[in-house]
């Protein structure tokens, strides 16, 4: 096996930030016990920010970005993993503090890795990636309302940013749960696709960008919010009594202008979703549920597969809000 491989390398010197594709060797990796041949990685909003300027998340340069990847174990110093195992990594600060998936090889700590169930291919894993993994976390947070309230069923749910990677997959999962899903999007050309994923209603994003009322009409038992800002504030004000709002994004704004009224009058629960530092046990559970709720044949229709070279041209479009669905990187391309 050649120890030469291709990777996107970020560098920061004085005021100059650079990104370029380089040929490296295994001496680049300073830590980790498991060497993985990377098959696929993904483009997430955080990746786009890191590719732009490091986003104050990267602490050491030169650096390989890419916060998720799937591939096959080549070498392992840990008995839990052996050559040939198909594995996936999401979160764990890979692509931020540690070398990430925008490379043909990655060497990581064994605790970052999850063995893929036999029913999920490496491409399937990155068709989901961090976006799909986050969608599952959000959806199970909404479903938890039924356990928290001792059997009171969830019926009507809202998904904001529904044409994005997280939102679109959340629509599918929540529909599979049997819920009535309303999808908020500013991309009207995605309406038919969202309905195929399971959305019952398509709502215009502009209606959620108005000044929110302190308490709007209670419409939603649960909300998956992927954008933050005013849209999240409106969603909170429209949530029914005891509803759960799972918040996982800030593409619109990191600020949240709301009041305590939805929380103390209606008992609304704002559940922050972190997909980076959650326990290994929860990560294993989420991956074990994938085959029950994900239709990969349907998702494949809205997947764009690109090379490392193409990725460098596409990530600015994500930052402008001009991408939809899931973008994955084929490291063999």
Query: How many alpha carbons lie under 13 Å from residue 276 in its C-beta half-sphere?
Result: 13
Give this prediction's pTM: 0.89
Indicate the pairing of strand 68-76 with strand 34-43: antiparallel
Backbone angles phi, psi at 96, to 5 degrees: -115, -70
DSSP 3-state assignment of 326?
A: strand
Q: What is the pLDDT of residues 105-149, one digit of tens each?
A: 999 999 999 999 999 999 999 999 999 999 999 999 999 998 887
pLDDT of residue 128: 94
The H or E element that residue 290 is part of is: helix 280-293
pLDDT at 251 over 90: no
Indicate the pairing of strand 180-185 with strand 239-247: unpaired
Q: In this structure, are residues 290 and 173 in contact, taking their beta carbons and an 8 Å threshold?
A: no
pLDDT at 228 over 70: yes
Q: In this structure, are residues 148 and 171 in contact, taking their beta carbons and an 8 Å threshold?
A: no
Cα separation values, 253 from 183, 205, 246, 247, Å: 19, 14, 16, 12
Sequence-ordered list of residues with C-beta below 8 angstroms from that of 222, at least 6 positions apart, any chain:
142, 145, 154, 156, 157, 158, 174, 179, 239, 243, 244, 245, 246
| Alpha carbons 101 and 113: distance in angstroms, whole number | 13
| Alpha carbons 323 and 304: distance in angstroms, whole number | 10
Q: What angle do CA 145, 271, 155 make, to 5 degrees?
A: 35
| Alpha carbons 254 and 145: distance in angstroms, whole number | 26
Q: What is the pLDDT of residues 264-322, one digit of tens each?
A: 999 999 999 999 999 999 999 999 999 999 999 998 888 899 999 999 999 999 988 78
DSSP 3-state assignment of 243?
A: strand
More confident residue, 50 or 152: 50
pLDDT at 255 over 80: yes
More confident residue, 325 or 11: 11
Q: In this structure, are residues 102 and 273 in contact, taking their beta carbons and an 8 Å threshold?
A: no
Q: What is the pLDDT of residues 229-241, one digit of tens each?
A: 999 999 999 999 9
What percentage of the chain has pLDDT greater than the value 70? 98
pLDDT of residue 151: 64
Domains of the chain: 4-116+295-330 (3.90.180.10), 134-272 (3.40.50.720)
């Amino acid at each position: 096996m050649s120890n030469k491989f291709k990777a996107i390398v970020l560098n920061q010197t004085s005021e100059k930030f650079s990104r370029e594709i380089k040929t490296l060797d295994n001496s680049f990796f300073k830590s980790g016990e498991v060497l993985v041949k990377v098959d696929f990685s993904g483009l997430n909003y955080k990746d786009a920010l890191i590719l732009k300027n490091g986003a104050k998340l990267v602490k050491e340069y030169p650096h390989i970005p890419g916060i998720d990847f799937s591939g096959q174990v080549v070498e392992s110093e840990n008995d839990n993993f052996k050559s040939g195992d198909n594995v996936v990594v999401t979160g764990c600060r890979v692509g931020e503090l540690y070398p990430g998936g925008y490379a043909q090889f990655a060497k990581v700590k064994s605790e970052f890795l999850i063995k893929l169930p036999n029913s999920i291919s490496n491409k399937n894993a990155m068709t989901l990636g961090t976006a799909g993994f986050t969608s599952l976390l959000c959806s199970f947070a909404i479903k938890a309302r039924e356990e928290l309230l001792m059997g009171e069923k969830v019926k009507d749910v809202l998904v904001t940013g529904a044409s994005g990677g997280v939102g679109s997959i959340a629509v599918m999962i929540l529909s599979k749960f049997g819920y009535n899903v309303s999808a908020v999007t500013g991309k009207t050309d995605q309406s038919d696709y969202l309905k195929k994923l399971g959305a019952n209603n398509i709502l215009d994003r502009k209606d959620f960008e108005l000044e929110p009322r302190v308490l709007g009409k209670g419409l939603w038992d649960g909300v998956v919010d992927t954008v933050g800002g005013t849209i999240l504030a409106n969603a909170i004000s429209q949530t029914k009594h005891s509803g759960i709002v799972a918040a996982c994004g800030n593409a619109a704004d990191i600020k949240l202008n709301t009041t305590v009224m939805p929380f103390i009058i209606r008992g609304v629960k704002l559940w922050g979703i972190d997909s980076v530092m959650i326990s290994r046990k929860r990560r294993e559970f989420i991956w074990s549920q994938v085959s029950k709720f994900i239709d990969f044949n349907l998702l494949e229709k809205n997947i764009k597969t690109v090379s490392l070279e193409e990725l460098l041209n596409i990530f600015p479009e994500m930052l402008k809000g001009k991408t939809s669905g899931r973008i994955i990187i084929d490291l063999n391309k």
